[in-house]
Structure 1
Amino acid sequence: MTDRGEVSVVRWPGPTPSADDGPAALLAAYHLRTEAEKGAAVADVDALPERYRREIADPRTVFAADVVLVAVIGDAAVGCLVVTAPVDGGSEIKRLWTDPAVRGRGVASGLLRAALAHAAENGVRVLRLSVWAWRTGAVALYERFGFAVTESWDERDRLVCMERAV
């Protein structure tokens, strides 16, 4: 990517046509990379578990109750994040992903700031997330944003659960 433009974060779907196709491609990259990191690399999206294929094929339906944020540089969608609909005052951050070509340019930080602002505006009291332990850069980023490791709500090995007050 050669465009060094400013990162903007938009709610998807929204008024920015350049981000229309962004979530599907970003979700595909996220899931393919995650499966490879877990030691279960697959050749393409068709070999992913069904629940992940549904997210990629139709994010508008899968995340209809949630908020999908897309980071855009110029005319390219370069990052995404999902904030789940609030339940009992809490929401979860899921699917934070940035295109590896733009890492280090504030994309993930911009998405997290937008997620925190959205949560605050919508009465969310606690945001939680889970991240694979080997994603040490992501864990450090979440800690910089005030997330702390908490008791796990997920049985998967090497999954770190974190939360913070909004």
Structure 2
Amino acid sequence: MGSDRLLHIYLNDHFAAAVAGRELAARCRSSNRGGDLGTFLLRFEAEVVEDRATLQAIMERVGARRDPVKQGLAWVVEKIARLKLNGRITGYSDLSRLEEIEGLCLGVEGKLSLWRSLGSVARMDARLSEFPFDRLERRATAQREALEAFRLEATARAFGA
């Protein structure tokens, strides 16, 4: 297929984002143990790992090699994001929770776009026909809806809204 190079770049960009997303999910989960959010994040993190494995299988199917530079940069960016001000010199604040959940929301939106785009490509590229893009899209939609409820709760906690 003539656009394989572009597809490989696209997949690598999303794989790098998945690396950062996994790190963010783990950090958010470790700061929110117990309760509904912590329980959700435990399952969510496992699903993120599954989605990343699916993306890796897709990359292998189309011959895309993982770009270690992009992966490394994504990991570093996620770590640097921890240094941002959150109203406290050290520790975790209600604003930290809100911004982490918003980051997860953005990541899931990107993943939802990925599955939709690949589902469209699969109609033209038989190499992708075995992947369950409809199911992956439904799961990402459910994740986004759940995260939105937690985001609204975190907003109320952070700002007393």
Structures share fold, TM-score greater than 0.5: no
**TM-score normalised by structure 1 residue count:** 0.29
Q: Whose helix fraction is larger, Structure 1's or Structure 2's? A: 2
**Structure possessing the higher relative contact order (Cα contacts under 8 Å, 6 or more residues apart):** 2
**TM-score normalised by structure 2 residue count:** 0.30
* Greater gyration radius: 2
Q: Whose strand fraction is larger, Structure 1's or Structure 2's? A: 1
